[in-house]
Amino acid sequence: MIIPALDIYNNNCVRLFKGKYSKLKIFCNNPIKVFLFFLNKKIKRLHLVDLNGANKENCNILTIYNFSKIYNYYKISKIQIGGGIRTFKKFKYFSYFFYKLIISTLIFKKVFFLYYFFKKIIYSIDIKNNFIYSKGWKKKECKLKKIRKKKLTTEIICTDIKNDGTMKGININKFLIFKNINTKLIISGGFKKYQKYKKFKINNVIGFISGISIYKKKVSLKHAL
């Protein structure tokens, strides 16, 4: 399954290149329009990220609020949302309106209320040079192999930061550490062609996040339906 990505920065629909904000590219200045486009296509799942929120900025609050109201009306696709969801108040609100909540920074903190939302949470494991990064891909946390010692959620997203936005193809070897673990895996970073990954050798993979390949029409949305 292909999972289209909708990243919001300063109320624009954007894509990053290798996680670098200095190489950010705006694809549309009307994220509501893009959001409705995906919902009207009746895609199975949408990956929604507030990039400002990931950096503790609140300029997209109204846009995210409008997303939640629109989604609550349509209730077609499953939407996973991430970016700055770090307080009980946000967890309570987003868990009501959206299918799954994506967290990264809180994985490495002792937060008591995560227990109450455990079934709604997706861990986002963002990797670069065999280290895990958080806080908008800016803070180095620990070596990748240490993540296996943590209690994982039922689904995780793993992003190859250095390959993100490149369309060079997924580096399969980066994700072998998650082979045969008892959790569903979604892979992100470098997606190019769907046919290439039909016979993926990690059996717990359930989907691939695709951003720039979709916006540049290099991959068909039929694989997201």
CA distances 178 to 82, 174, 219, Å, are 21, 9, 26
* pLDDT on residue 202: 73
Query: What is residue 170's three-state secondary structure?
Result: coil
In the numeric block, the tokens 């930061």 are attached to 161
Beta-sheet strands, E only, within 29-146: 45-50, 78-82, 100-103, 121-128, 131-134, 139-143
User: Domain coordinates of the chain in residue numbers?
Assistant: 2-224
Which tokens is 103 given? 């967290």
The pair of structure tokens assigned to 177 is 């550490």
Read off the pLDDT of residues 201-215 as tens digits, 9 standing for 90 and up: 677 889 999 988 888
Which parts of the chain register pLDDT below 50? none
User: How many whole angstroms from its chain centre is CA 164?
Assistant: 12
- DSSP characters for 130-159? TEEEETTTTEEEEEGGGGGGSPP-SEEEEE
Q: What is the pLDDT of residue 82?
A: 93
For residues 28 and 13, the answer to whether their CB atoms sit within 8 Å is yes
**pLDDT value for 35:** 95
Backbone angles phi, psi at 156, to 5 degrees: -135, 150
The Cα 185–Cα 166 span in angstroms is 21
Q: Which residues are catalytic?
A: 7, 126
CATH 3.20.20.70, applies to 2-224: yes
Half-sphere exposure (Cβ direction) of 107: Cα atoms closer than 13 Å: 30
The single residue listed with the structure tokens 């339906």 is: 225
